[in-house]
Every structure is written in structure tokens, then in C-alpha cells.
Structure 1
Amino acid sequence: MENQYNYYNSDGMNGNGQSETPFHEDNGGQKHQVPHGKKPQKKIPKAVAVTGFALLFGVVSSGTFLASNVVGSKVLGLTGVTKTNTTATKAVSSNASLSKSSSVVTSDVSSIVENVMPSIVSITNMSVQQVQDFFGGVSQKQSESAGTGIIISQNDSELLVVTNNHVVAGSDTLTVTFADGTSVEANIKGTNSEYDIAVVAVPLDSISEDTMKKISVATLGDSTQLKVGEPAVAIGNALGYGQSVTTGVISALNRSVSETNEQTGETTESDAKLIQTDAAINPGNSGGALVNASGEVIGINSSKLVGDSVEGVGYAIPISDVSDLIQNLMNQETKTKVAEKDQGAIGIKGMSVPAEYSKQLNMPEGVYVSEITKGGGAEAAGMTKGSVITAIDGTTVSSMDDLQEQLQYYAKGDKVSLTIQIPQSNGEYEEKTVEVTLGAK
């Protein structure tokens, strides 16, 4: 039997999932039959028999009472709270196996949190959206969303923070708030929508010396060594209230999550294999850290399942799976937005090729070039109609919105490197990189 669930990240994106069927065990009994042919026993005096039966009844009653306590404890979860807590605490601190009798794992993770918290930041995304009223008029509305980030590196001039792409998407202004409460503006370094990863940069000259002493770079762990059942701690800006901590375990590994497009109804499965945890992941936690018992970052919190019958199903991106991607994003040039009147244009007309159509039509996911503008940069670079743009300066684009968002950081006259897929006569596509000088919008 299959149940449908909603899949949410901090932007409210949804999808579906399947429930896992619970199981139970049956304990069977075995009867022993007395063999035939035994000689009849001699009669026992009545007084002795009564005394014997009384003793037997006492022994059986004691055994039954003890068995009832054991069964009751296991079935009803009536184990000692103090003992469970002590066992769990020792198990976490020594990396020993958890007691099989423990039904709930709780422990003191304050030392872990104390070490990790200086490397966690809150991220506020201020954006302006076009809103259409009842009469067809269009107005601009400012919106604010909250997320989390992890300090992962520092270069000569910047502090680098990794987060989810959906945390920074569409931003006009990004603000990073450090563990000591100070806030500074940040710029996007690089993004990848396919794996929902982004790196933002904070200029070092905008951070005070006092703040620099109170923050630190996170220690990254090896998510390929994770085991189901080991402890996990999630830290993030839950609901935008500031940093909070939740605990749990690694529930499963290599999970695939399907997302449903609300407009088309099409369902697509993410290429990324995620960590599942029962540590609570709430809106605002996106981009935050999932850490192990050693305080190492093993995942980037990204989403959760929501439904009437769902509880404790959150997801994180395994840090080892995206370490190379994060490094590439860190090496990109920091982007600052250009005034709209000065922004450049490629010189094309295009349309999005979303994942669902990409599979149906056997086309690359990206921006389909439906027309080449005469005298534009694309024509001068030799681009042709029918090509599909998949990246700009190394940043993946999977839609027209992605491409237009990236072009906000380039002025007319700038040169950009476009990765395009060119259709071949056999129905396949050949990848090519072209340099395009941007013209006026």
C-alpha cells in the first residue's frame, strides 16, 4: 500500500514519498508430552502434597509476576529514564554501541554544539517580486526569507559560506548574521541549482576583529563512512528565530526524493542521494549543518517530508558528494549585481527545458535557443537556433529564470563563457563552449 507525502524545503517546494511498512514479531510456545509407559508414582501424603502445591504456586506466581514486568517494560516502554539517558550519553561519548533496551536515544550534545556553533550563520534573503493585482496591474513587493549557512573557508579577502541554492535564489540583498549577533552584507560566489548548493562571500574588511575572534571555520567530515543508527545533530536558523539545535540519528542513506511541479503536475526524481535523519528539520534550517558525534559536518540540511502520517523525516545533502562542487564554486569570481540599465544581453530568445521535458524529448535540461537576435553577441559567437544553454561561466542553468538571474551580474560589453549543447544529425547533442560579448538589453 502506498501513501503520498509532501516534500518541502524552506521555499515550500513539495513532492512525494513512500511510507515504510512497520513489522512485528510473534513468539511461539512449544508443548512437551509425557511419554507413555512410565510406572505410576506412589501416592504422596495429603499434608505433604498441600505444602508442595503451595510452594509450587509461590514459585510460579513469582515467575509470572517477573515475566509480566519484563514484557510490560518492553511492550509499554517502561524502562528507567535515568538508565536510558546514562547509557545513551556514554554511548555517544565513547562511540560504543547503544543499549538494545533503549527505546529513546537522548544525550548531552552541548560540547558538540559549543564547538560547531561559531561556524554557523543565519542568512536573510531580501528580494523584490512582481505582483499582479485583480485588475491586471503589476506592482513590486519586497519579501524576506531566512536560511542558514556554514563557514567553510577563508581567502585573502573573503570569508566563504556554503548554503542551499534555494536560500539565496532571487536575492536582491543577502545578509549574514554571525554567532555573536553581528550582521553584514554578503555576495553570491557561485550557485548550482541541480544539487541545491551555493557559496556566498563576506568581505573580511566588513567583519570586526571582535567578531573574527568569535567565529571559526567548520570541520568537514566524511559522509561516505556514515552508518545507519549513529547519532546526528542538526543546527540551523529554524523559523528565522535564530540558531537552534535538534538531535536524532542517521535514519537511512542514499535516499532519492521526488519533487512535483505544482503547475504541470509532473514528478521528477532528484539526482542527489540524500541522508535521511529524524533530527527535526524546519523551515529556516535549510543550508545548516548536520554534524556527527565528533562535531564534523557530514551534511547540509535541505528539506523534509510533511504529511498527516509522517514524522521525523528530514534530509541533508552528503558533504562528501558535493565537496568538489563546493570547491569549484569557491573558486569563481564573486558576483555583484549591475544596475538594470547597464546589464548585458546574450542576444537570443529562448525557453526553459525543465527536467520532465528533458527526459521526454531526449534534450539537455537548460535553455532552448528558439531565435538568434541579428547583430547580437550570440550571432557573432556563431551560436545557432536549436542549441541548449546549460551553463554560464561554470554556473549551471536549468531554466530561463536561472539564466536571467545570472545575467544580472554582467554589464554590456562583458564577456561570458556559455556551455551549450548542439543537436547532431543522429539525435545526440555535442557539448561546446563559446565566448559571447554581451550587448545592450
Structure 2
Amino acid sequence: MTSFDEMVISAVEKVIPSVVNISEVRLMKNAYLQVHPVPGVGSGFILDEDGLILTNAHVVLGSQEIKVALEDGRVFPAQIRGLDTMKDLAVIKINARGLPVPRMAKDNNLKIGQMAIAIGSPLGLVGGPTVTAGVISALNRSIQTEVTFMEGLMQTDAAINPGNSGGPLVNSSGEVIGINSAIIPFAQGIGFAIPIEAAMEIAGELIEYGEIIRPWISMNAIDVNPKLVAYYNLPTTKGVVVTDVVRGSEADRSGIEVADILIRMDGTEINNVRDLIKVLNKHKVGDIVTMEFFRGQEIVKLKTMLEKAPSLQSPRIR
């Protein structure tokens, strides 16, 4: 074997005992509104000896039954400990002791071009976890998923197939550097992973509180777009239009109105909803923010206190 082979094999052997297969059942409605069970599969890896496991939120969200298969063949029922749909992370728990825990990379000194090894259970195939190798193709990527906007991701060309979601991304030393989180359908060789430091921070909060406490302005908004500008003769081509304000909320009491166009917050230009999310992520619940709106043709300045964002983690029939 070459030194490259030995390096990959050594890295995989250190981590693979801690990789798990996750199978779950969701209740789905068909075209006739009849509810029926639909099985699914995903991956995860062990966080501590007593059965805490990290995976993706979309792997277990809405599940009625979750089972975890360990690398040694044992199968356990699992319960959801906490979910964060915004960052697509979840912690689940099985009743087991003395489980193997992989080493987590301690620093975030990632480099484009360094080795990246993805481990998981693609398509739920029998025979244990699958290993694919590649490199980190890019850092600090942002993607729009079906439910959220994610930023700060690693991009890798290591093959990440359906079922790999939630599995670890590993460096050449056998340390977990990320959690495989998303693939772009029909793309060639493009996968994404959440850096492990950010993932572990969220996991710690999920373990303690069961959710992530994030700030929110109690309103709904959409991006200004050319059709809105032309139809309503808007005074700006950038910003976000307020479409709803929660009655009795801090936003409501602050005087924010439907059809206001947010263009600036705390001195930062808000060109779209992504900009708004980025600014909000720098704040905490209870912070006071200053906002500038177009109200008609006039600019209005308002201050409001950020509230706790509503939880999106409740399992539901889809």
C-alpha cells in the first residue's frame, strides 16, 4: 500500500466505530389525504459515551419512530433531544453506555485543498458505513435550502449521497472537521458540511435547552423585486417589504407597519432577507436595533427590541 492509502485507512479506522445509521418513519399524506408511514435513512456520529448522537435535523424532523444501528450491529430506539432547523442539526439519544467517541478538530484552521473524508450510510445500504475521499473545495459557502439560508459551510468534492446526511467529514488525522449536511440535486461533485466547531456549539445548546434561542423581529418580509417595484411604484429596488406584523409584539409596538420597506439596520444596508438574517445573527434576544424604512416616499427611523424566534422544530405530519 502507498502512504496515501495508509493515511486514509488510518483516519477511517479511528472514526468509523462512532458512525451510526439512522432509520426513521414519518407519517405522510398522499393525494387523497390519507396518512401512511414512509421510511427514511440517514447517518450520524456519537457525541459522548452515554448515547448522544449528532445528525442533521432533516434526517429526523417529523419522525414517528427512530432507530439507530451502531457499527457493531446493535440497534437502539432513539429520542430527539433537540433540533435546530435553521442550521440543519439535531441531537438524538439512545440508551447505551461506553460508546466510542471520535476526536473533534480543535481549531478552525481549514485550508482549501486539504483532504476531506466523508463517512456515512448512503441509500441505507447494508454492510456498514461507506467511505469517500476528496478535498475541501471551498470555505464559507452560503446555500439556500428548502427551509432556510445556511452560511459558513465547507464545500467538498467527496461524494455525499442520500443517506450520508449527518455523517462526519474527517481530516487525514482522523479528526472530525464537519458534519455532512446537504447536496445539490443534479450537481456534479458538490457537497457541503457544517464546520465542527460551529456544530458543537449548537449541539451543546440543544443538549442543554432542546432548542436554539435566536433573535427575531416579529414580522414577515420578502425581498424587493422588479415586479413589486413596477407594480407598486416602489421608491427603491433593494430592501425587504414587510408583509405581516405579529399583533401585540415588540415590532407592532415599535410602529412597524405592513408595506414598510426595510433598507438599513444598525447602519448596515439591507438589500434582501439574507442581509437581514446576517445582521440578526450578530445580536441576542433583548437587544435594541435601529431600523430605517421607506414608508411611501418618506424614510422612517424606528427602534425595536429583538424577541425570541419561534421554534420550528415541532414534528408534524407532512
TM-score bracket relative to the smaller structure: 0.5 to 0.7
Question: Does the Cα contact within 8 Å between 2:183 and 2:190 map onto a contact in 1?
Answer: yes
Q: Match for 1:180 among 39, 50, 72?
A: 72
Q: Which residue of 2 aligns with 1:361?
A: 241
Counterpart-to-counterpart distance in 2, 1:278 and 1:355? 35
Amino acid in structure 1 at the alignment position of 2:114: E
Counterpart-to-counterpart distance in 1, 2:181 and 2:134? 16
Q: Match for 1:160 among 52, 63, 73?
A: 52
How big is the shift at 1:272?
2.0
1:189/1:120 CA distance change after superposition, 3 Å: same
Amino acid in structure 2 at the alignment position of 1:170: G
Question: Does the alignment pair 1:325 with 2:202?
Answer: yes
Q: Which residue of 1 aligns with 2:40?
A: 145
Could you tell me which runs of 5 or more consecutive residues in structure 1 were left unpaired when the two chains were aligned: 1-84, 93-105, 262-267, 335-351, 372-382, 388-418, 435-441
Counterpart-to-counterpart distance in 1, 2:114 and 2:195? 15
Output aligned runs, 1:12-161, within 5 Å.
86=2, 89=3, 92=4, 109-133=8-32, 138-154=33-49, 158-161=50-53
Q: Match for 1:312 among 184, 189, 196?
A: 189
SS in 2 for 1:273: strand
The alignment's TM-score, normalised by the length of structure 1, stands at 0.49
Q: Which residue of 2 aligns with 1:14?
A: none
Question: Does the alignment pair 1:220 with 2:112?
Answer: no
- Which structure shows the higher helix fraction? 1
Question: Does the Cα contact within 8 Å between 2:219 and 2:246 map onto a contact in 1?
Answer: no
1:385/1:224 CA distance change after superposition, 3 Å: closer
Amino acid in structure 1 at the alignment position of 2:38: S
How big is the shift at 1:126?
0.9
Question: Does the alignment pair 1:198 with 2:90?
Answer: yes
Matched length: 247
CA shift digits 1:194-213 (9 cap, x unpaired): 11111111123xx6xxxx4x
Return the index of the structure with the highest Cα Rg. 1
Amino acid in structure 1 at the alignment position of 2:241: L
CA shift digits 1:57-107 (9 cap, x unpaired): xxxxxxxxxxxxxxxxxxxxxxxxxxxx84xx3xx5xxxxxxxxxxxxx66
- Which structure is richer in relative contact order (CA contacts within 8 A, separation 6 or more)? 2
Q: Which residue of 2 aligns with 1:254?
A: 140
How big is the shift at 1:369?
4.2
Question: Does the Cα contact within 8 Å between 2:111 and 2:136 map onto a contact in 1?
Answer: yes
Amino acid in structure 2 at the alignment position of 1:143: V
How big is the shift at 1:258?
3.1
How big is the shift at 1:370?
5.7
How big is the shift at 1:240?
1.0
Amino acid in structure 2 at the alignment position of 1:124: S
1:333/1:354 CA distance change after superposition, 3 Å: same
Counterpart-to-counterpart distance in 1, 2:28 and 2:302? 39
RMSD between aligned alpha carbons?
A: 3.5
How big is the shift at 1:251?
1.3
Question: Does the Cα contact within 8 Å between 1:221 and 1:296 map onto a contact in 2?
Answer: yes
SS in 2 for 1:224: coil
Counterpart-to-counterpart distance in 2, 1:354 and 1:294? 45
- Which structure shows the higher strand fraction? 2
Could you tell me which runs of 5 or more consecutive residues in structure 2 were left unpaired when the two chains were aligned: 212-217, 225-238, 254-284, 291-299, 310-318
The alignment's TM-score, normalised by the length of structure 2, stands at 0.67
Over the matched positions of the two proteins, sequence identity in percent amounts to: 36
